[in-house]
Amino acid sequence: MKLFGKKKPKVVQLPESGNAKPVLVVDLAADKDGMLTGDIGGCLVAILLWNPDKKGRYRNMRGQHGSGGMLDWKTLLAGVPNDTGTKLLLICMKSDVGSFTRRLDDAIDEKEIIGSDAKSLAIKPKFFGYSVAFVDRAGSVQELKEMGYQNNYDVETPALPRR
């Protein structure tokens, strides 16, 4: 990875949250460079970025690997500004982009995402059809195709909450 010179980027791999309660929404620590989605399969990964610095790197990054596309929007969006400076990146298999786009539109219409007090969603979602991806603090999304991609990163994987 030329972006980070010779050192391996420090990343968090989002574990699939399945039906764990509470769901695992990960806030990226300041010393980390980005997030790995893990294998997507039939899931949907949401990554939010907000509060950019002068270099275009986002100070805040939060993500969830939602099993079957089930995301905890309330937790994901808690404290995140509803403005055009916030990025919402949604990553799923290319074949699932259409169905997840419709589900997102329905969730917005039902105010599941923005809450009943907001008039509209200023955050513009962007979909990517990848099976595995890396997202850095600048909001760049890179598809990872090679086997053993984890070897290119200094990876931390948070534990799922106990059921």
Strands 44-52 and 141-143: unpaired
**Rounded mean pLDDT, 124-133:** 95
Rounded to whole angstroms, how far apart are CA atoms 23 and 18? 8
Q: Which helix (H) or strand (E) holds 105?
A: helix 97-109
Give residues with Cβ within 8 angstroms of 54, minimum separation 6: none
> Does residue 11 have a pLDDT over 90?
yes
Whether pLDDT at 74 is above 70: yes
Contact indicator for 153, 36 with CB cutoff of 8 Å: yes
Structure-token match 């950019």, residue found: 52
Mean pLDDT to the nearest integer, 113-127: 75
pTM: predicted TM-score of the whole model, two decimal places: 0.90
Say whether pLDDT at 160 is over 90.
no
pLDDT, position 113: 76
Average pLDDT over the chain reads 88
Rg (CA), the chain: 15
Q: 51 Cβ partners below 8 Å, 6+ apart?
A: 58, 59, 60, 81, 85
Say if CB 5 and CB 150 are below 8 A apart.
no
pLDDT (average), residues 47-57: 95
pLDDT of residue 106: 85
Beta strand 58-66 pairing with 44-52: antiparallel
99-114 pLDDT, tens digit per residue, is 999 988 888 887 777 6
pLDDT at 1: 43
Give the chain's length: 163
